[in-house]
């Protein structure tokens, strides 16, 4: 009797552990170890060469993964070109004439398919690995990317408009947007630290520099040269003072009221996220460590696994 009881406790524990582990480990770092042992190194070489050629490309690749994951999960949907059956996310407001890096993704896909001898690596996984390799190439932290995402056969411009946060969002809008993706306030602050690299167009920060009062005056004046009240929509400003380095200057800029976007400065504006911004501003080790953790969390948003979706032959079109 006792042994039967022990057995059933054991069985329950086993089933529980199995359910929990399949729920959380549908992606795994060694997913391509057998099917394509050279997959990760071939992605890294293309990313390294692209960043060497143009440092900003690292920022653009990081942003691509973010905009992919925030629209129906990390499923490569951002990469699909417009077609009669695809309402491309590339034409959504946050992406149109703004998101870039697609040619590098094509180059990676070609290199990785060649290295594998067959198309086994999904475009969604390529984005996740390219984002990590870009961060590393610009001096940021590394992390183990979990793999096995499959590619969507659909895209949604409407979902992209509804789910990608906007630069005019308030702190509470940012918090609830991230919450809707299963990410908390800490994830919001640390992932916004992605703005330690890259650039923004004048059109995205014009209202902040002309209408907001929580901005350093001299800094605002300098930005007005780059971004006049009318015209110059495509003129670029770096998102922090060191746009090619993955450091914590983004956070110290916020403390000095030198955030470029309204949404950036919202993170340090007398609200609940001030303390964390302060901490990351003087503790780049903590920033790097937490950024890596939250990137893994973001990369786990609703992946297609198993027999769902497909592995695309060309990242721009469904098979």
- Between 156 and 195, how does the x/- string for binding to ligand HEM read (CB under 6 A)? ---------xxx-x----x----------------xx-xx
Q: Is 63 a residue that touches ligand HEM (CB under 6 A)?
A: yes
Whole-number Cα distances in Å, 146 to 115, 274, 301 = 20, 31, 12
Q: Which of 6, 65, 67, 256 is flagged as catalytic?
A: 67
Helical H segments across the chain, by residue range: 2-24, 39-53, 56-69, 102-116, 123-137, 157-163, 171-180, 185-192, 202-211, 217-226, 249-255, 262-266, 274-282, 284-299
Q: Which is nearer to ligand HEM, 201 or 279 (CB)?
A: 201
In the bound complex, what is the minimum distance in angstroms from residue 86's beta carbon to ligand HEM? 22
Q: ∠ at Cα 53 (71, 122), nearest 5°? A: 35
Q: Is 200 a residue that touches ligand HEM (CB under 6 A)?
A: yes
Helical H segments across 117-229, by residue range: 123-137, 157-163, 171-180, 185-192, 202-211, 217-226
User: Is residue 256 annotated as a catalytic residue, yes or no?
Assistant: no
CA within 13 Å, CB half, 298 = 31
Residue 47 assigned ligand-binding role = no
Q: Is 296 a residue that touches ligand HEM (CB under 6 A)?
A: no
Residue in 44, 45, 100, 212 binding ligand HEM, rule: CB under 6 A: 100
- Which residues contact ligand HEM (rule: CB under 6 A)? 56, 59-60, 62-63, 66, 98, 100, 165-167, 169, 174, 191-192, 194-195, 197-201, 204, 239, 261, 263
Query: Which residue ranges are tagged as binding site for heme b?
Result: 195
Residues serving a catalytic function are 67
């Amino acid at each position: 009797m006792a042994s039967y009881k022990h057995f059933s406790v054991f069985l329950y524990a086993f089933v529980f552990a199995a359910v929990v582990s399949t729920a959380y480990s549908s992606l795994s770092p060694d997913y391509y170890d057998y099917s394509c042992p050279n997959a990760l190194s071939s992605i890294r070489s293309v990313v390294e060469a692209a960043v060497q050629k143009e440092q900003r490309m690292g920022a653009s690749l990081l942003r691509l993964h973010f905009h992919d994951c925030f629209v129906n999960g990390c499923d490569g949907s951002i990469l699909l070109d417009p077609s009669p059956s695809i309402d491309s996310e590339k034409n959504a407001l946050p992406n149109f004439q703004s998101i870039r890096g697609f040619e590098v993704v094509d180059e990676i896909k070609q290199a990785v398919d060649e290295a594998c001898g067959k198309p086994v690596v999904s475009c969604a996984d390529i984005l996740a690995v390219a984002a990590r390799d870009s961060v590393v190439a610009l001096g940021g932290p590394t992390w183990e990317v979990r793999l096995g995402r499959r590619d969507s056969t659909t895209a949604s411009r409407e979902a992209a408009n509804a789910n990608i946060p906007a630069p005019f969002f308030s702190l509470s809008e940012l918090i609830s947007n991230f919450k809707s993706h299963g990410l908390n306030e800490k994830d919001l602050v640390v992932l916004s630290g992605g703005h330690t690299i890259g650039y923004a167009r004048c059109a995205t920060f014009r209202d902040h520099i002309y209408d907001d009062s929580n901005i350093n005056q001299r800094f605002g004046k300098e930005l007005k040269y780059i971004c006049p009240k009318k015209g110059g929509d495509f003129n670029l400003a770096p998102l922090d003072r060191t746009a090619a380095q993955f450091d914590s200057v983004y956070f110290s800029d916020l403390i000095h009221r030198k955030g470029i976007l309204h949404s950036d400065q919202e993170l340090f504006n007398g609200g609940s996220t001030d303390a964390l911004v302060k901490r990351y501003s003087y503790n780049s080790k903590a920033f790097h460590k937490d950024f890596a953790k939250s990137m893994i969390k973001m990369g786990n948003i609703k992946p297609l696994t198993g027999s769902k979706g497909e592995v695309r032959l060309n990242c721009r079109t469904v098979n």
